[in-house]
Structure 1
């Protein structure tokens, strides 16, 4: 499974890495923790961008993350 670091993901999403780390720690963005280091599944980033592109009126990140972590993109 390809992964991104938090700073790489933040750059792709045009947000600060501090903001993304906060979202990850709060459980609002999917991540895996290996030896104290977070990595983001590339599929999560791809699914988020695809869902956001087709969402009329915006996308609630918390709702999307909960759906993604439950087994499928919103």
Structure 2
């Protein structure tokens, strides 16, 4: 979270995975399934890189802490998209 307090608006997938106590592979699977917010940075049709909006990780963790029960991330993403400007962070 030091990056975020320093003003960096994104996490790498490994950083987001560590903050959420998940494997990197699982976070990539969520991203590819359109079940977790991310930015895909690439040029043309080649391979690219993904970054995760720091706000998304923070809001997910805050939401889960306040909910007091199990949170389905896919449902949260739908609600997050509805309240975010154009679905982006």
Say yes or no: TM over 0.5.
yes
Give the number of the structure with larger relative contact order, counting CA–CA contacts within 8 Å between residues 6 or more apart.
1
Q: Which residue of 2 aligns with 1:3?
A: 10
Normalised to the residue count of structure 2, the TM-score between the two structures is 0.76
2:60 counterpart of 1:48: yes
User: How many residues matched?
Assistant: 72
Instruction: Give the drift of 1:71.
Output: 2.2
Structure 1 segments (4+ residues) deviating >2 Å: none
1:1-74 to 2 correspondences below 5 Å: 2-35=9-42, 36-72=48-84
Over aligned residues, Cα RMSD in angstroms?
Answer: 1.2
Greater C-alpha radius of gyration:
2
| Partners of 2:56 and 2:11 in 1: CA distance | 10
